[in-house]
Structure 1
Amino acid sequence: MNNGIILTTQTEAALNRIKMNEIESTNRVPKFLRKHRVHLAWFLLILTYLYWTMLPEVIFV
């Protein structure tokens, strides 16, 4: 009987750890985006510029 109680508490602890890790990992991404928002904006701007300048060369060859 005791083993069952210990097992359930261990599994609950493991599940709680998994939940905490999920919460931490979801919070990490917006932090990165807030930190590098300007860099990402410039990167996307340059990427779209290159895409639109290369596109006619790719289509009309």
Structure 2
Amino acid sequence: MDGKNRSDIATGLEVKIVLKKDQRSGNLTEGIIKDILTNSPFHPHGIKVRLESGDVGRVKEIIALNNH
């Protein structure tokens, strides 16, 4: 899954995001979603989230579903 649909995103998911500063290089940052920042159901560049680390970026890849 590519993280463009908000319905695929949930807090606690392990994802890879691209930070604003990494958009040109394409470097991905891995972490657990703390907050979902995009309100719309779809975003062509990925849903914006805040990770537990505090990093903010757009979801590029969903790694694993965390079962709470």
Q: TM-score, normalised by structure 2?
A: 0.15
Q: Which structure has the higher relative contact order (CA within 8 Å, separation 6+)?
A: 2
Larger Rg: 1
TM (normalized to structure 1)? 0.16
Larger fraction in strand: 2
